[in-house]
A = this chain, B = another copy of it.
Amino acid sequence: MAAMDLSLQQLRGFVAVAEELHYGRAAQRLNLTQPPLTRQIQGLERTLDVRLFDRTGRGVRLTAAGGVFLEHARRVLALLEVAPEATRRAADGTTGTLRLAFTAIGAYAVLADFLTMVGKRTPGVTAELTELVSPAQFEALANLEIDLGLVRPPIPAQFESLLVHSEDLVLAVPASHPLALGDGAVSLVDVTDDYIGYSPEGSQYLHDICAAMIGMDRYAVSQLASQVPTMLALVRAGLGCALIPRSIMAMGVEGVRYRELDAADAHSVTLHACWSPDNPNPALQRLAESLRLDPRLTT
């Protein structure tokens, strides 16, 4: 009994006939002759086992079922209509999704501004955010699990990258600490207490820099943390001082004071946007292209 299924030709034919209520005109509209149209509708009616038109000798009239099927057919054709354009836009990166990772510390400094910049350069692209430490980001970038990372150096040579932010470190001290009072720059040699250190796994870059600044002997003795809020909580509890990226100062924490470091001790830390040139995501390619042409991050 012909369990044949619907074809788009049938749908288009049906919609044309339903709108014209006249096989001849509908056929003309479809650049067709009338007999094929008749057979298309017949096939449709046989497949659906439903009469779609009342043949009244004088033209045709939609049945109630025909009206329902008309709505469905129109929706199918409308969806089919927009699919190619949507696909092309996804292919050239006009629309799409950017899977973006950031370090816990990086988020505080630049994530919001970076997202704004991405939104301006590639409108229509949405971002999916994940927090990952830098080494995990490099692995995820290589596996195409993310498209873009906000990472600390060093950056493996296989990736393309752009300096996003550079800032120096400041000293966070407990409010009860002698150094909490002054407001000029302090030298690291004035700090006699322990330090709250960065975890060498979670924040290798900051760990290494701080270790170099202070010396491993004193740096290693205290708590290790990688989340900045955790570190500030430990500072506040009086367990020691900490070296913190300047941007974190925006985060006021009761019981914690910040001091500038002497120019001799200051050391800047950087954050980089980083991506794989091999990544096939068109949205990323479009953003990368834009960044190559104009690497400025403002505006």
Contacting pair B280 A63 (CB below 8 A): yes
Question: A87 interface residue, CB < 8 Å from B?
Answer: yes
Q: Which of B52, B80, B95 contacts A76 (CB 8 A)?
A: B80
Contacting pair A86 B72 (CB below 8 A): yes
Contacting pair A96 B49 (CB below 8 A): no
Chain B residue at minimal CB-CB distance from A61: B280
Contacting pair B76 A281 (CB below 8 A): no
Residues of B within 8 A of A83 (CB): 6, 69, 72-73, 76
Question: A216 interface residue, CB < 8 Å from B?
Answer: no
Q: Which of B8, B48, B75 contacts A6 (CB 8 A)?
A: B8
Residues of B within 8 A of A65 (CB): 87-88, 90-91, 282
Residues of B within 8 A of A95 (CB): 68
Chain B residue at minimal CB-CB distance from A285: B64
Give Cα A5 to B12, complex, Å. Answer: 12
Contacting pair B6 A47 (CB below 8 A): no
Q: Which of B50, B87, B280 contacts A69 (CB 8 A)?
A: B87
Contacting pair B280 A54 (CB below 8 A): yes
Contacts A8-B7, A283-B64 known; A50 to B87 CB distance under 8 Å? Answer: yes
Give Cα A105 to B67, complex, Å. Answer: 33
Chain B residue at minimal CB-CB distance from A50: B91
Q: Mark A39-62, 1 if CB is under 8 A from B, else 0.
A: 000000001111110100000000
Question: A112 interface residue, CB < 8 Å from B?
Answer: no
Question: A252 interface residue, CB < 8 Å from B?
Answer: no
Question: A84 interface residue, CB < 8 Å from B?
Answer: yes
Q: Which of B52, B67, B90 contacts A68 (CB 8 A)?
A: B90
Contacting pair A6 B84 (CB below 8 A): yes
Contacts A76-B76, A83-B76, A96-B64 known; A88 to B50 CB distance under 8 Å? Answer: yes
Contacting pair B67 A90 (CB below 8 A): yes
Give Cα A209 to B75, complex, Å. Answer: 53
Residues of B within 8 A of A280 (CB): 54, 63-64
Give Cα A282 to B87, complex, Å. Answer: 41
Query: Which A residues contact B (CB, under 8 angstroms)?
Result: 5-8, 47-52, 54, 63-69, 72-73, 75-76, 79-80, 82-84, 86-91, 95-97, 280-283
26 A–B contacts, CB within 8 A, in A order: A6-B8, A6-B83, A6-B84, A8-B8, A48-B88, A49-B88, A50-B87, A54-B280, A63-B91, A63-B280, A64-B91, A64-B97, A64-B280, A65-B87, A65-B88, A65-B90, A65-B91, A65-B282, A68-B86, A68-B87, A68-B89, A68-B95, A72-B80, A73-B83, A76-B79, A76-B80
